[in-house]
Structure 1
Amino acid sequence: MQGAMSNLERDPLELVCEEERKTRLAQSPVELLEPRDVPLGGPRAMNVRRTLPQRNRSLIGAWCFLDHYGPDRVSETGGMHVPPHPHTGLQTVSWLFTGEIEHRDSAGYHAMVRPGELNLMTAGSGICHSEISTPGTDILHGAQLWTALPEKARFIEPRFDHYAPEPVVTDTYELRVFMGSLAGSTSPVPLHSPLLGAELLLEAGAGAAFDADTSFEHGVLVDSGSVRFNGTLTTADQLAYLPPGHGSIELSAEPGERVRLLLLGGEPLGESIVMWWNFVGRDHDEIVEYRKNWQAEIGAEPRADGSAESSRFGKVVDNTLDYLPAPVLPNARIRPRR
């Protein structure tokens, strides 16, 4: 099975993601975004529920990609098996609810992704990595997210960070802040634009309210149960969006079922990005060059100009898998999707 850590669609969309800054003036400011099912890989593909990007919304702060998957029984699906693949201009945010994944990358890092622990890979100018679910994993369930690096940081050296947040526990909720700050809890991982990422467990019928930065836009992805987000009912697999200008986040679980959700936020990025396959850049020509570099490095295609191979992405440490070739680029120049 192919996994959710790489965008393995056979025909990935080219996207220019632009800020949507208008504040909604309707009675409820919350916008509900429905997921689309995306099969990754071949006949036994892992199906993910993708809520970012989509036509109605490209970004929430710098959050530019969100896949939500599982719970999948590995004995039936074959688990996650993502061979080495490249990234540029982004950070990958791996967050599991159940299971375990082994990560290896070309910056020399080897780590396990486990429930309740953040694995943050900063691609910067270029990195490649692989992810394989471990033999002891029975149920695989989690989310894969990307944040777009702003112009000032998108060519930094690649790196990897791990953080296991201490939960904030009350009578009604359990909160794990893995990026940014909330409710007195702050993550130490390096960020390159103001961001928030947290997992919240709410008891059935219980509520939680948090002070919010009014410069942030926020999103709530519901994993299980149903919750009212600033008054708007949001159900499992939906992503709810709240524009900037709101000083509080109010969450109330519906009776009868415990709620698990991811709370995301950030200042509007203020930049347009082009996202195609696993690359984030700023224009068509950058994406073409990234693809050429990758194909040359893995021996899939010679460089058209006959120059020496690039070493942008490097090689994954202790790798035994074939490197994943890039899809064919669209025939036309990548242009904004409107």
Structure 2
Amino acid sequence: MSNVTTGGELIDCPENCERPTVRALPSQSKILGSGLPIVRHLPVREQRRIGPWCFLDHIGPTNLEADNGVDVGTHPHIGLQTVTWLFEGALLHKDSLGYEQVIRPGQLNLMTAGRGICHSEESPPGFSGPIHGLQFWIALPESDEDTDPAFAHHTDLPQWHLGDATVTLVVGELDGHRSPAQVFSPLVGAHIRAAGDTTLSLPVPASFELGICVNQGHARLEGTAMDTGSLYYLGQGRDEVTLELDDGADIMLLGGEPLGQPVLLWWNFVGRDQARIEAAISDWQSYPNDRFGAVDAYDGPPLKAPPLDPNIKLK
């Protein structure tokens, strides 16, 4: 998805919490495009990122009509990977590499922007019905910011049962399992769904900063009740996460090692310094070009980048 915020966040980044905590983060409700409701979990003033995860939108839940579906026009990205994961519905991805791919629940769309890519996201032709899911951005480490852009669609992801819960490893590594999705730093993104009241424990590296997004139902961590629709920051220092899940609870565990570098975000661009962001804005203004190729399959104008005042310094 495109970032609907028309400016950058000109605020200091809080220090990473190097000890375990359980802290609810405030979220912001927004409307994307012609009426798609989203909840922006990351970034927020209180927490800019969790490990390398620097952006998280909770899409829906809502119902779409065939004549008023998702339509996010062609827009660019640099310096990140997008992770799209649906609970209900379908989305159609089109990009400047020539890929056209419908994603459905249980499938992963992973787009690596690297030095530059652009894409659009739409409802498939004639689609109507519920839409509900998550989209994340993973910031790339400095050594991989200029990697070649790429796209991958995965339908066969590691899945196992713990008690009455099913764990699907979307990206990264967890509990001896590894996702086939290519990532560029140590991290985890796991979807956990309970089919009955259950308690489960998962080993995690103590070096990982962690978060839990409660998508549906009720969950508890270390005696703290976690509210539906909220993102919780867990800090670092745990070697195990123990969760109590009520029947029907649905959560996403995310985290990873902090990158140890600046991570600046302006519109749909991520980079370690402002010069990279400014260059991407300039290149996008002359779209299409060698950096941001045309998305020929999308029928509509590209989105415009908000201007960045040269007197403003991103933090």
Question: Which TM class, normalised by the smaller chain length?
Answer: over 0.9
Unaligned runs of 5+ in 2: none
Instruction: Tell me, yes or no, if structure 1 residue 31 matches structure 2 residue 26.
Output: no
Q: For residue 263 of structure 2, what is the aligned residue in structure 1?
A: 273
Alpha-carbon distance between aligned partners in 1 of 2:83 and 2:108, rounded to the nearest angstrom: 7
Q: For residue 122 of structure 1, what is the aligned residue in structure 2?
A: 112
Q: For residue 233 of structure 2, what is the aligned residue in structure 1?
A: 241
The worse-fitting range, judged by mean Cα deviation, of 204-213 and 268-277 is 204-213
SS for the counterpart of 1:180 is: strand
Determine if contact 1:79/1:140 at 8 Å carries over to the other structure.
no
Q: For residue 212 of structure 1, what is the aligned residue in structure 2?
A: 204
Alpha-carbon distance between aligned partners in 2 of 1:202 and 1:138, rounded to the nearest angstrom: 24
Alpha-carbon distance between aligned partners in 2 of 1:102 and 1:112, rounded to the nearest angstrom: 4
Aligned pairs, number: 313
Alpha-carbon distance between aligned partners in 2 of 1:68 and 1:312, rounded to the nearest angstrom: 29
Q: Which amino acid aligns with 1:323?
A: P
Q: For residue 182 of structure 1, what is the aligned residue in structure 2?
A: 174
Distance 1:77 1:40, change over 3 A: farther
Q: Which amino acid aligns with 2:133?
A: G
Any residues of structure 2 matched to 1:182-331 within 5 Å, and which?
182-254=174-246, 257-298=247-288, 310-330=289-309
Alpha-carbon distance between aligned partners in 1 of 2:47 and 2:162, rounded to the nearest angstrom: 33
Distance 1:17 1:156, change over 3 A: farther
Alpha-carbon distance between aligned partners in 2 of 1:225 and 1:69, rounded to the nearest angstrom: 16
Deviations 1:71-130 (A, max 9, x none): 111029922101110000000000000111111111222211111111000000000001
Amino-acid identity (%): 39
Alpha-carbon distance between aligned partners in 1 of 2:82 and 2:10, rounded to the nearest angstrom: 18
The worse-fitting range, judged by mean Cα deviation, of 157-166 and 80-89 is 157-166
| Structure 1 segments of 4+ aligned residues over 6 angstroms from their partners | none
Q: 1:167 Cα shift?
A: 2.4
Alpha-carbon distance between aligned partners in 1 of 2:175 and 2:310, rounded to the nearest angstrom: 49
Counterpart of 2:3 (choices 4, 7, 17) is 7
Instruction: Tell me, yes or no, if structure 1 residue 98 matches structure 2 residue 88.
Output: yes
Q: Which amino acid aligns with 1:84?
A: T
Q: For residue 301 of structure 1, what is the aligned residue in structure 2?
A: none
Counterpart of 1:85 (choices 66, 72, 75) is 75
Q: 1:35 Cα shift?
A: 1.4
TM-score, structure 1 as length reference: 0.87
Alpha-carbon distance between aligned partners in 2 of 1:315 and 1:234, rounded to the nearest angstrom: 43
Determine if contact 1:128/1:313 at 8 Å carries over to the other structure.
yes
Q: For residue 157 of structure 1, what is the aligned residue in structure 2?
A: 148
Alpha-carbon distance between aligned partners in 2 of 1:146 and 1:182, rounded to the nearest angstrom: 19
SS for the counterpart of 2:50 is: coil
Q: 1:30 Cα shift?
A: 1.1
Unaligned runs of 5+ in 1: 299-309
Distance 1:22 1:77, change over 3 A: farther
Q: 1:39 Cα shift?
A: 2.1
Distance 1:262 1:285, change over 3 A: same
Determine if contact 1:14/1:334 at 8 Å carries over to the other structure.
no
Deviations 1:228-271 (A, max 9, x none): 123321111111111221110111024xx410011101011111
Alpha-carbon distance between aligned partners in 2 of 1:35 and 1:130, rounded to the nearest angstrom: 25
Q: 1:6 Cα shift?
A: 0.8
Q: Which amino acid aligns with 2:298?
A: N
TM-score, structure 2 as length reference: 0.93
Alpha-carbon distance between aligned partners in 1 of 2:250 and 2:272, rounded to the nearest angstrom: 35
Q: For residue 168 of structure 1, what is the aligned residue in structure 2?
A: 160
Alpha-carbon distance between aligned partners in 2 of 1:176 and 1:152, rounded to the nearest angstrom: 29
Alpha-carbon distance between aligned partners in 1 of 2:14 and 2:64, rounded to the nearest angstrom: 38
Alpha-carbon distance between aligned partners in 1 of 2:222 and 2:283, rounded to the nearest angstrom: 46
Determine if contact 1:15/1:275 at 8 Å carries over to the other structure.
no
Q: 1:325 Cα shift?
A: 1.5
Deviations 1:126-162 (A, max 9, x none): 0000111112341111011000001000000000112
CA RMSD of aligned residues (A): 2.0
Alpha-carbon distance between aligned partners in 2 of 1:231 and 1:96, rounded to the nearest angstrom: 29
Determine if contact 1:46/1:77 at 8 Å carries over to the other structure.
no
Q: Which amino acid aligns with 1:268?
A: P
Alpha-carbon distance between aligned partners in 2 of 1:20 and 1:326, rounded to the nearest angstrom: 29
Distance 1:323 1:51, change over 3 A: same
SS for the counterpart of 2:265 is: strand
Counterpart of 1:139 (choices 126, 130, 142) is 130
Q: Which amino acid aligns with 2:16?
A: R
